[in-house]
Each structure stands twice: as C-alpha cells, then as structure tokens.
C-alpha cells in the first residue's frame, strides 16, 4: 500500500484529484484546510488491486518527464560541449591530439541542437501527450470512470451471441 499527501490551492483541488485518480490513487479521508488558502489531500494506492501496476507507474513517470519545464539533458550537453571547446583552444599548443576535443565538442553541440528540437516539439504537443497518457493508463488500469474494467468483461464464446443469432 502506497500513500501520498499533497498540499494544493483550493482552485486546483479537483484537477489534482482527477490526475491522481487516473493513475490509480484513491482519495482517503476529508480535505484538510491549511493556512494560505491551501488544502491537504491524502491519497492511497494498493498495488494488488491494480492489474497492471508497472504500466501505471511507468506512465506516471512519463507524464512527469513530459511535464518537466526545461530541457535538462540539452543544457548538460551544452555545458560539456563548451568545456570541450575550451579545452581545444587551451591545449592547442601543448597536446598533440588537441583536434579530438574540437570534434567531440561539435558532436555534443549537435546533440544539444537535437535535444532542443525534441524539447520544442514536446513543449508544443505537451497537453495532447499528457491527455493521451492519462487515457491509455485509464483504459489499461480501469481507472477511467466511464469505461468498464477489463477484468469485469466476459470473454466472447460461441454462446455469447446465441440469442441474437436465433432472432
């Protein structure tokens, strides 16, 4: 059994409850009023009740990665490329194979540009990707209220459509 406690603004309470319930969390207890116009929410999730818990957890991580507001890997690659370029200029006179630093820095600059392009594409399509993740997890785990659980649907057999065939 996992439990989580979060403090959110009153306006965002319904949105957060919907978000966490779509990933299999259940709201436990009443909403606690906190100072500053915030509300405390307690959630629990039972791993044994969810049929595909690993898929739900992986989707929750993917949702968090998409929601990240800045391209961390792009900035890391930019820093590495800049350091390698500086080493190229510094070691030009004393190191025989100084050209390696130039080529490596150019590779990292190329990877930085690639990461920034990916970040821009994800930023533009962020809301759609988040909705798609929540929908897929809800269908897989049965956490969408309007859809039935996969485990509750009977499998089709030869006798399933017997009454319809006889009419």
Q: In the block, which residue shows the tokens 């485990």?
A: 151
Question: Model confidence over 49-80: pLDDT tens digits?
Answer: 776 778 888 888 888 888 877 788 889 999 99
Cα–Cα dist 116/4, whole Å: 33
Pick from 13, 10, 19: nearest CA to 137 = 19
Query: Which pLDDT value is given to residue 58?
Result: 87
In the chain, the percentage of residues whose pLDDT exceeds 70 is 85
Alpha helices, DSSP H only, in the chain?
A: 13-22, 53-67, 72-90, 99-124, 126-141, 162-166
| Rg (alpha carbons) of the chain, rounded to whole number | 25
Angle between the N-to-C axes of helices 126-141 and 99-124, in degrees from 0 to 180, rounded to the nearest 10 = 70
Question: In this structure, what token pair is assigned to residue 159?
Answer: 């006798």
Does residue 125 have a pLDDT over 60?
A: yes
55: Cα separation from own chain's centroid: 12
The pLDDT value given to residue 137 = 81
What is the predicted pLDDT for the residue at 81? 95
Residue 114 above 60 pLDDT? yes
Q: What is the pLDDT of residues 75-107, one digit of tens each?
A: 999 999 999 999 999 988 888 888 899 999 999
Q: Which residue has the higher pLDDT, 99 or 145?
A: 99
Residue 140 or residue 65, greater confidence = 65
pLDDT of residue 161: 67
Residue 149 pLDDT greater than 60, yes or no: no
- What does the pLDDT read at residue 30? 78
151-166 pLDDT tens trace? 555 677 777 666 665 6
Quote the DSSP letter at residue 147: S
Tell me the pLDDT of the chain averaged across its residues.
82
């Amino acid at each position: 059994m996992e439990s989580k406690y979060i403090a959110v603004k009153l306006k965002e309470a319904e949105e957060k409850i919907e978000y966490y319930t779509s990933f299999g969390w259940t709201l436990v207890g009443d909403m606690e009023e906190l100072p500053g116009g915030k509300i405390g929410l307690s959630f629990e999730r039972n791993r044994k009740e969810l049929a595909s818990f690993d898929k739900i957890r992986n989707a929750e991580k993917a949702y968090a990665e998409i929601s990240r507001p800045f391209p961390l890997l792009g900035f890391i690659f930019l820093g590495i490329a800049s350091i390698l370029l500086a080493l190229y200029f510094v070691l030009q006179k004393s190191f025989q194979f100084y050209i390696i630093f130039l080529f490596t820095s150019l590779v990292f600059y190329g990877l930085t540009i690639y990461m920034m392009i990916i970040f821009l594409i994800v930023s533009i399509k962020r809301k759609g990707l988040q909705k798609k993740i929540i929908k897929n997890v809800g269908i897989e785990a049965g956490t969408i209220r309007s859809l039935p659980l996969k485990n509750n649907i009977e499998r089709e057999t030869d006798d399933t459509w017997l009454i319809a065939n006889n009419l």
